[in-house]
């Protein structure tokens, strides 16, 4: 399995966290530890990083570090509150969520996340739990398949793809990435230059089977609740649906709640929102995108806890 992974917006994310040497920080997606390693370099002996990951291979990679300031948690970041409670940690000094999938997951044929390899159609970030895509495709209705591909992949040919999948599985189970990519390519009439016809479908199915949108929606309120005053939440998104959720959450919680019409309230008495925007939207530089093509879709947003 490939170990290569380049963390996107690495320096920008660490600077946005504004780490204190003795602070406690959460890395919600350890991956291959790029952000955690950079964060630990900024911390002193009393500093601590608590890193989450669903992927047992990522956890195994981190356990080989022999770093006493690093605590690894094999769990999705939607369990943030419960896992911090189990560790006896009430509040933290910063939380980083680097969303999406890591390069080793995409580059490992056995994970079944990429159409670049003919492999078992799995796509789970944690192969020890949940249902592989092949099993779901075998039982889902045409309407369910269409909605997943349309909503999570923003694929305009979703209906044609769903129809092709249902027709094909009646002849033989769809259990390989190569077979699914072939079916999608036959159903998609046109595609943007340089993009494989199956890109949006594979992305949609991966997001769905791993409940990535639901995980993010569950995590953001927990993250806000665990930040100390002055601590920051840094989120790096790679998909428009994820970024939209982050943007709306930060906007909602950094804006004063609306007052009833006609109610006179002194400025000093207006309710103070729990968050304040620090970085509304930051994209990687052209240089970073040239070095790492997977950085092209990244968006970073940052908010700070007021009180």
Distance between CA 236 and CA 76 in Å, rounded? 16
How long is the chain? 307
Distance between CA 237 and CA 229 in Å, rounded? 24
27 is in an annotated binding site: no
Distance between CA 257 and CA 259 in Å, rounded? 6
Quick check: 101 and 125 in contact, CB under 8 A?
yes
3-state class of 118 per DSSP? Answer: coil
98 is in an annotated binding site: yes
The burial of 192, by beta-carbon neighbours within 10 Å (0-12 exposed, 13-18 middle, 19 or more buried), is given as exposed
* Helix 199-209 and helix 177-187, axial crossing angle in degrees, nearest 10: 130
126 is in an annotated binding site: no
Our measurement of the distance from residue 217's CA atom to the centroid of its chain's CA atoms, rounded to an integer in Å, reads 11
β-partners of residue 176 are 120
186 is in an annotated binding site: no
Name every residue whose Cβ is closer than 8 Å to that of residue 15 and which is 6 or more positions away in sequence.
none
105 is in an annotated binding site: yes
β-partners of residue 96 are 27, 234
Name every residue whose Cβ is closer than 8 Å to that of residue 24 and which is 6 or more positions away in sequence.
47, 48, 49, 50, 89, 92, 93
35 is in an annotated binding site: yes
Distance between CA 120 and CA 180 in Å, rounded? 10
44 is in an annotated binding site: no
Per the annotation, where are the binding residues? 33-35, 53, 77, 98, 105
Per the annotation, where are the binding residues for S-adenosyl-L-methionine? 33-35, 53, 77, 98, 105
């Amino acid at each position: 399995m490939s170990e290569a992974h380049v963390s996107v917006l690495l320096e920008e994310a660490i600077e946005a966290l504004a780490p204190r040497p003795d602070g406690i920080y959460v890395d919600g997606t350890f991956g291959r530890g790029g952000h955690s390693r950079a964060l630990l370099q900024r911390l002193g002996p009393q500093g601590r990083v608590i890193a989450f990951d669903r992927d047992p291979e990522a956890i195994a990679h981190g356990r080989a570090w022999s770093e006493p300031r690093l605590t690894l948690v094999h769990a999705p970041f939607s369990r943030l509150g419960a896992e911090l409670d189990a560790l006896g940690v009430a509040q933290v000094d910063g939380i980083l969520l680097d969303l999406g999938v890591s390069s080793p997951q995409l580059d490992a044929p056995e994970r079944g996340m990429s159409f670049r390899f003919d492999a078992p159609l799995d796509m789970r970030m944690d192969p020890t739990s949940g249902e592989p895509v092949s099993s779901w495709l075998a039982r889902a209705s045409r309407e369910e398949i269409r909605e997943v591909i349309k909503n999570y992949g923003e694929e305009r040919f979703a209906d044609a793809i769903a129809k092709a999948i249902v027709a094909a599985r009646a002849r033989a189970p769809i259990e390989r990435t190569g077979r699914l990519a072939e079916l999608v390519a036959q159903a998609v009439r046109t595609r943007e230059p340089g993009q494989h016809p199956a890109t949006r479908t594979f992305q949609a199915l991966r997001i769905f089977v791993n409940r990535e949108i639901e995980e993010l929606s569950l995590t953001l309120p927990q993250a806000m609740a665990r930040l100390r005053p002055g601590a920051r939440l840094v989120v790096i998104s790679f998909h428009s649906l994820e970024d939209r959720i982050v943007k709306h959450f930060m906007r909602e919680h950094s804006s004063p709640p609306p007052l009833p019409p006609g109610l006179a309230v002194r400025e000093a008495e207006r309710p103070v929102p729990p968050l304040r925007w620090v970085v509304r939207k930051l994209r990687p530089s052209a240089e970073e995108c040239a070095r790492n093509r997977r950085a092209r879709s990244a968006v970073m947003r940052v908010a700070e806890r007021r009180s």
